[in-house]
Amino acid sequence: MTIANVLTISRIAMIPVLIILLRMDAPNSYLLAALVFTLLVLTDSIDGFIARKYKQMTKLGTFLDPLADKLLITASLVCLVELHKIQSWIVIIIIAREFVITSFRALKAAEGKVISASKWGKVKTVIQALAILIVILEGQWRVHIPYPLDVWSIYIAAIVTVLSGFKYFL
């Protein structure tokens, strides 16, 4: 088992901790949730860096890394819907895009073609992570810029998510 794979598996294992922190009604639970979420997002970058730098790219890692990303983003978004912090229709759009692109990649893989993550896919992931972090922290600081920053950020994430999905088909 490579270091990168251990980090990826650890990231998946920490998702329930994030969910618990988001659902807790305790002082600073959102702050702790934001910290854990940030740590998990950063770990994604670190495990990819380690895998490339030390040539530890594995089939398991190739499968688990995007799965861990999708689990983290999906779990976070679903919790935030349950907490009435974002609207469900936005989450449905984001999750639907993930299903469509993952299915598209699987179809192409069956034909022997590998569709690796595009630059737009990586940008989408960063913007989604930033939007989720803003939504988590919004309850702490209530930052409003003509319209609540959390709402604007999640709308931007949804738009970029859809646009990045179109880029895969083009």
Q: Which fold has domain 3-169?
A: Four Helix Bundle (Hemerythrin (Met), subunit A) (1.20.120)
Distance CA 142, CA 135 (A): 10
| Amino acid at residue number 167 | K
The pTM of this model reads 0.90
CA–CA distance, 74 with 56 (Å, rounded to integer): 27
More confident site: 72 or 49: 72
Rg (CA), the chain: 16
C-alpha–C-alpha distance, residues 117 and 136, integer Å: 27
pLDDT tens by residue, 154-169 = 999 999 999 998 887 7
The model's pLDDT over 100-154, given as tens digits with 9 standing for 90+, comes to: 988 887 787 788 887 777 788 889 999 999 999 999 988 666 555 566 888 899 9
pLDDT for residue 21 = 96
% of the chain with per-residue pLDDT over 90: 52
Rounded to an integer, the average pLDDT of 25-48 is: 91
